Every structure is written in C-alpha cells, then in structure tokens.
Amino acid sequence: MSDEITVRCDNVSKRFSRNLKKSLFYGLQDTFAELKLNSVGKGDPELRDSEFWALRNVSFELKRGDSLALMGSNGSGKTTMLKVLNGLLKPDTGSVTLKGRVGALISLGAGFNPILTGRENVYVNGSVLGFSKRDIDARFDEIVQFADIERAIDAPVRTYSSGMQVRLGFSIATCMDPQILLIDEVLAVGDFNFRSRCYGRLAKLMADTTILFVSHSAQQVTRICRKGLLLENGCPIIHDDVAKVILEYNRRNAPSGEFRVLYDGTAQIDSVGLEEKDLNFGGDLVLNLTISSENLYPNCFLRLLIRKADEELVGEWNSELHGITFDLPVGQSDHRFTVKNLRLHDGLYRIAFFVMSEDRLTHLINAANVDTFETSGFCYGGVAVQF
C-alpha cells in the first residue's frame, strides 16, 4: 500500500432545505455571495429556515489501496458524502481533495442517457473520464463481456432492467482503470453470479485503488473494506477498523421492542434469559427457561433461532438433533439449554425460540425478541456460524 494520499476530506459540511422554493432561493443567494465575497468553504454558516445539515464536519484521509465503508441508517448522509466527493455537490464548508481518476457508481442509472444505446453510453462515459476513442475501443469488449449484455448492447438503455443497468455501470466504472472508486449500494441489485464477479474485480483493484463503499450489508462491507466511517444525521460517530464500526452500527440500529410471546397455547413462560451476554468466539451460549404448563407434554424439543441485529437469520439450533428432549410436566419446570462452541463474527445478535411437541408440528411456545448478546474475538472474513 502506498503512502500517497488520494482522498482528503477536511471538515466537510453540506446543508439542504426541505422547501423547494426556499431551496432555489437559497441557491441563488449562495451563488451571489460566492461571486461577491468568494466565501464558499469559509466560516461556519448558520442554518436558515427549513434547512438541515446533511453532513456536518466530516473529515478523513485515505491512501492509495485503502478501502473505506460508509455506514449509517437511511438519511445519515452516506450518498451525499459520495456526491460531494464526486463533485456532484459542492460543500457549504470544508474542502475535498482527490488525486487520481475517479470511477463512480452512485445511483442506479446515474450517468446514462436512457435514449442512447448501451454502446453509445459506454463511449459517452469513457469520454467524461478523459479517455480517447482509441482507449475506449481497446476496453470495449472487456466492458461488454463483464456486464454480460452482448445481445442488448445496441438497445436503448431505457429498455434495460435495473440489473442490466447496474452491470453496465459497474463494468464501465471498474474497467476504466480508476485510481478512486465510489460505489453506493449497487451490489444489492445484481444477481449472485454478477456479485461474485464484482468481488473478484474489486479484489484485483484493491492494491492500487482507493475504494469508498456504501452498504447496509456487513457481509459485503467486510469483503471489501478494511476501515469504516459511521455517520448519524450527517455527523461522524466513529472512524475505525471496519469490525468496530459495524458493531457500533448494529448497536445503534438494532430493532427495538420488548420480549414477546407470539403463541403460548396451554404453556407459558415464567422467566427467560441468557446466562452470559458477552461471548468470545467459540464460547457457549446458555439459555434458561422457566415454563408453566396446564398439561403434560412429553419429549418436547427446542428450536433456537439466532439473528443479526438487522434481523438476518444466521443460525438455528435444534435440541432434538443434539439428542436433547425434555418433558413439560403439569405446573412449573426449569430448563437449561447450552449451544456449545458458538462460532459467530464479532457483532450483536438477537435470539428467538420455539418449543415443539413430540409430533414435530405443534408449537407450544413461540417467542421473539427473547434476548440479545454480543460476540468478540473473531476476525472478519472467515467462516460463518457453525453449530
């Protein structure tokens, strides 16, 4: 990795107005102020009526070969940050310095003329990036082949599906030898085969290309980025190793809500909880239950579901498959279940469970939002959950 700074963002702030007419008026006002005073990027302007900060005092530096994940909930300022970096928006304060050719895929269909064909759009985009017709000719076959749109390359882009547009846009952005690559939430649109090719292409670029990647997917982020920046309401919260940023993102965006029983039939939960909520990689997860039942249910078993903070299911543990069944007698009974050698990425997780009767069909208890726990001690990029 080179020590050359390719991206420098210094105390960047950007404000918007929620009112269209006032937004147009403020734009004219700022333009005249810039022409008269040459004051853009200086001082600390106050918010005017109906305005809000989309970005507020954001700073970071990236070297060639660095990869940074911009994370945050919807409306936190991630896409605005990419648009400022790409020159589509001018910051109200602060400065941005880029050194090198920029390839950007910020939104679906951005940079495409829907009336022009795919072939024509390739040449238009290449020209914008500063390539000659001869340079684009040399890369054209590679772009079309990677995008897998040979049969549609001479059709208007407006006839393309969203996936085809993403494939073509990503192919143009990465085949043109960018020194800086800006990607915003586009890998979620492509199919599995295309995403696999994208990861391969990005792996080849990472040695010499500075990558800024926006995504809500921890799995995608950890495959691409080494560092992370968490934004909240436009403000930087944490700029650190990507694993630490993902954990803080999950803590702040975990679904809220109290423990709830979705169905309890003739059995009910008197108490439930985890013995330990901070686990090391490979540690044991222990769940304690106290259940009251109106009837005798022999040979029951428990299905434990583990989800990430964003509710994505990462694992299921079935006590019956581990040779553990239990009886629910009439009255109250205590039960303890241990999931041994739990292997999860560092992060925040939520559990739910079912208590099933011996017929394997009847849900005696169905409980969600039972408890949360955190894991640590595992480096991102390895195996997923194993039971």
Token pair 């400065």 is found at 95
Residue 386 lies inside a defined structural domain of this protein: no
Residue 204 lies inside a defined structural domain of this protein: yes
- In the chain, what's the furthest Cα-to-Cα distance? 85
3-state secondary structure 289-305: EEEEECCCEEEEEEEEE
Q: Crossing angle, helix 118-128 and helix 162-175, to 10 degrees? A: 40
- Of 236, 253, 270, the last residue of a domain is 253
- Of 253, 278, 313, the last residue of a domain is 253
pLDDT at site 256: 63
Do 151 and 12 fall within a single domain? Answer: yes
Q: Per residue of the chain (387 residues), give pLDDT as tens.
A: 568 899 999 999 999 998 888 888 888 888 877 776 654 445 567 888 888 999 999 999 999 999 999 999 989 999 999 999 988 899 999 999 999 888 888 766 667 899 999 999 999 988 887 788 999 999 999 999 998 999 999 999 999 988 888 889 888 888 888 899 998 877 666 677 888 888 888 888 888 899 999 988 877 888 889 999 999 999 999 999 988 898 888 888 776 656 666 555 678 888 999 999 999 888 999 999 999 998 899 999 999 999 887 778 889 999 999 999 999 999 999 999 999 999 888 888 999 999 999 988 888 888 888 889 998 876 544 333 333
- Of 253, 271, 287, the last residue of a domain is 253
Pull the structure tokens for residue 130: 């500063």
Do 150 and 274 fall within a single domain? Answer: no
Do 188 and 268 fall within a single domain? Answer: no
- What pairing do the DSSP bridges indicate for beta strands 210-214 and 93-98? unpaired
Token pair 């044991």 is found at 284
Do 350 and 232 fall within a single domain? Answer: no
The residues, any chain, with a CB within 8 Å of residue 279's CB and separated by 6 or more, are: 285, 342, 344, 373, 374, 375, 376
Do 241 and 292 fall within a single domain? Answer: no
Residue 382 lies inside a defined structural domain of this protein: no
The contacts found for 109-116 with CB under 8 angstroms, 24 or more apart, are 109/157, 109/165, 109/169, 110/169, 111/169, 112/157, 112/165, 112/168, 112/169, 113/157, 114/156, 114/157, 114/158, 115/156, 115/157, 115/158, 116/156, 116/157
From the centroid of its chain, how far is CA 8? 23
CATH number for position 173 = 3.40.50.300
Do 196 and 278 fall within a single domain? Answer: no
pTM over 0.95: no
Residue 14's Cβ-count burial label (10 Å; 0-12, 13-18, 19+) is: buried
Residue 234 lies inside a defined structural domain of this protein: yes
Residue 385 lies inside a defined structural domain of this protein: no
Residue 67 lies inside a defined structural domain of this protein: yes
Closest by CA position to 286, among listed 354, 341, 366: 341
pLDDT at site 32: 79
Do 204 and 318 fall within a single domain? Answer: no
Do 169 and 43 fall within a single domain? Answer: yes
Encode pLDDT of 341-362 as tens digits: 998 888 889 999 999 999 888 8
Do 33 and 180 fall within a single domain? Answer: yes
Do 198 and 316 fall within a single domain? Answer: no
Do 249 and 266 fall within a single domain? Answer: no
Do 109 and 199 fall within a single domain? Answer: yes
Domain span including residue 309: 260-376
Please give the tally of structural domains in the chain.
Answer: 2
pLDDT at site 378: 60
Other beta carbons less than 10 A from residue 321's beta carbon: 11
Residue 9 lies inside a defined structural domain of this protein: yes
Encode pLDDT of 250-263 as tens digits: 888 776 656 666 55
Residue 381 lies inside a defined structural domain of this protein: no
CATH number for position 304 = 2.70.50.60
